[in-house]
Amino acid sequence: MKFNARETATILAALRNWQATVPTEDRSNWPQICDTGTPLNNQEINALAEKINAPPIRFDELVADFPELNEWMDHKIGKALNPVLKKIRDTRAMIGGT
């Protein structure tokens, strides 16, 4: 799920407000707010806030350290696209295109 900067700030503010104003022992009202599970404890709220603040993982950065994976992907993508590209070239040739 992706949030814009204002949405992210609002979510984080709400989490921090909950964390700061509702003592752990008073969180028994949870069922009135949400009917699933139990509320997060302070440590879990901290972890969630970090997760929300974390930049998204970019695929190209993730695979940058694995050149053999890049080569394999290039090969597989090329192999998959070759028939499509051939069909496009054949169709263009048939209708007199370049």
pLDDT for 98: 55
Residues 32 and 58 sit within 8 Å (Cβ to Cβ): no
Provide the pLDDT for residue 76.
Answer: 80
Predicted confidence at residue 92, as pLDDT, reads: 80
Instruction: DSSP for 8-54, please give it.
Output: HHHHHHHHHHHHHHS-GGGGGGHHHH-SSS----HHHHHHHHHHHHS
Q: Which of 51, 71, 70 is nearest to 61 (CA)?
A: 70
Evaluate if pTM is beyond 0.75: no
Q: Where are the domains of the chain?
A: 5-53, 59-94
37 torsion bin: left (phi>0), alpha (psi -120 to 50), beta (else)? left
